[in-house]
């Protein structure tokens, strides 16, 4: 591991490394693919599936059928279903506690203000399957959306190169969670299909889920045509450790991060002994030496990591100084892996320093709000002077008139009798 001291040079290096996530070559290639999907629809999906996944799928096989799903259940082990039930209960229970509630305010003169929260209508979920089928991402995305009340959910995932099929566990988990709209499409073309719609793949309102640099750039480029959860890069873990940390646990968790393509591990510590030990045990990643755990918290807040493990004395107290992190794991027995698979909170997290302004995927991710405003004529009269001054200041005179028209004294509402 590379060993650095915490100074302005190291701070600049971290910021520079994150800046490299944007690649102009990737940008141009993604833009070209999205443009073709928008213009050619299913034909572009078939072309790029053949080019990037090595599978020449007939158009009728882009969509997974119920028969495909039924056959998937024949290929999974029987004990997988009860295991999944326990995990999904953990995830569902966590998100049922965090939903935002609608509210109302009744003010003077009949003023009524409120806010209504509603789920998006239609959601598209991208499930990576390039290096390995991320089965856990299915329940970590579908369940929060279901808890939020999303009615229409579609999944897209790359087909296997050898068979053109989708991993049976992905199909079975999706089916058990009530999602039967699944497509054999991966990469940029899948994001384009969700964003613009094709004959086979209907357009969605929102796209969520992790992916490689091309998928991430595609999500960035279609934002505005649809909503997205976040712009995420390669996975990362930061471990904040002092002299009490178990070096075996630190080693295991840093090595586990290397299983992710492009994954980065940071060790932030004030322990010289730990620094020397990790240099010999772990090849990749960065060690940042700090003078104190308080300074270590400053480092972590600069990194804004996807996963943060705090292996220190009084980790709960240390966590109070952390402002920017996707998920925080406290103590020796809370490794990142438990959050990836079992604990409950989603493992779809902001990366590349974006935890400074993005939040983890949650039930609230799928909720949008509408503001409710109702005034009586008396309340409008009370606001008249303030609105007049502001509309005059901005030169929007027709805006002012739209208020004043409602305050003009009207003749009696009693209709005159028509002469016979």
DSSP for 213-267, written as a single string: HHHHHHHHHHBTTBEES----S-EEEEEE-TTS-HHHHHHHHHHHTTSTT-EEEE
Residue with tokens 């992905």: 170
Question: Which residues lie across from 310 on neighbouring strands?
Answer: 240, 330
- Cα dihedral 251, 252, 254, 258 in deg (nearest 10): 130
Task: Enumerate residues 6+ apart whose C-beta is below 8 A from 366.
Answer: 119, 120, 123, 144, 145, 148, 149, 150, 206
Task: Enumerate residues 6+ apart whose C-beta is below 8 A from 230.
Answer: 348, 350, 354, 358, 359, 361
Q: Which of 36, 217, 306, 309 is catalytic?
A: 306
Report DSSP state, residue 205.
Answer: S
Q: Is 93 one of the catalytic residues?
A: no
Q: Is 306 one of the catalytic residues?
A: yes
Task: Choose among 328, 307, 317, 309: nearest CA to 245.
Answer: 309
Residue with tokens 């690649």: 23
Cα gap 310→334, rounded to integer Å: 9
How many secondary structure helices (H) and strands (E) does the chain include?
16, 14
Q: Which of 307, 309, 324, 347 is catalytic?
A: 307
What positions carry a catalytic annotation? 306-307
């Amino acid at each position: 591991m590379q060993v650095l001291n915490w100074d302005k040079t190291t701070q600049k290096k971290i910021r520079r490394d994150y800046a490299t996530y944007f690649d102009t070559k990737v940008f141009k290639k993604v833009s070209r693919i999205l443009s073709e999907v928008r213009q050619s629809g299913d034909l572009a999906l078939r072309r790029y599936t053949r080019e990037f996944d090595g599978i020449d799928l007939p158009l009728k096989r882009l969509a997974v059928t119920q028969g495909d799903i039924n056959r998937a259940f024949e290929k999974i082990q029987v004990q997988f279903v009860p295991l999944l039930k326990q995990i999904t209960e953990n995830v569902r229970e966590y998100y049922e506690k965090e939903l935002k509630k609608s509210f109302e305010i009744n003010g003077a003169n009949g003023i009524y203000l409120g806010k209504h929260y509603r789920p998006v209508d239609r959601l598209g979920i991208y499930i990576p399957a390039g290096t390995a089928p991320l089965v856990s991402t299915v329940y970590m995305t579908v369940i929060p959306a279901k808890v939020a009340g999303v009615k229409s959910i579609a999944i897209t995932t790359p087909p296997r190169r050898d068979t053109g099929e989708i991993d049976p566990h992905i199909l079975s988990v999706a089916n058990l969670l009530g999602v039967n709209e699944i497509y054999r499409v991966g990469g940029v073309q899948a994001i384009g299909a969700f964003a613009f719609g094709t004959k086979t793949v209907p357009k969605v309102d929102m796209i969520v889920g992790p992916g490689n640099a091309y998928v991430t750039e595609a999500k960035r480029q279609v934002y505005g045509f649809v909503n997205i959860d976040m712009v995420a890069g390669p996975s990362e873990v930061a471990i904040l450790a002092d002299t009490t940390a178990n070096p075996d646990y630190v080693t295991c968790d840093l090595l586990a991060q290397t299983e992710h393509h492009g994954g980065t591990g940071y060790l932030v510590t004030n322990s010289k002994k730990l620094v020397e030990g990790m240099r010999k045990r772990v090849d990749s990643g960065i060690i940042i030496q700090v003078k104190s755990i308080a300074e270590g918290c400053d480092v972590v807040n600069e990194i804004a990591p996807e996963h943060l493990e705090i292996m220190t004395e009084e980790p709960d107290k240390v966590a109070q100084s952390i402002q920017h992190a996707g998920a925080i794991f406290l103590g020796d027995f809370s490794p990142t892996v438990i959050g990836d698979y079992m604990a409950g909170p989603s493992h779809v997290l902001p990366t590349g320093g974006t935890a400074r302004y993005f939040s983890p995927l949650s039930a609230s991710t799928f909720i949008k709000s509408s503001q409710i405003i109702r005034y009586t004529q008396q309340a409008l009269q009370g606001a008249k002077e303030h609105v007049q001054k502001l509309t005059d200041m901005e030169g929007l005179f027709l805006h002012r008139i739209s208020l004043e028209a409602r305050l003009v004294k009207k003749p009696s509402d009693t209709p005159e009798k028509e002469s016979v």
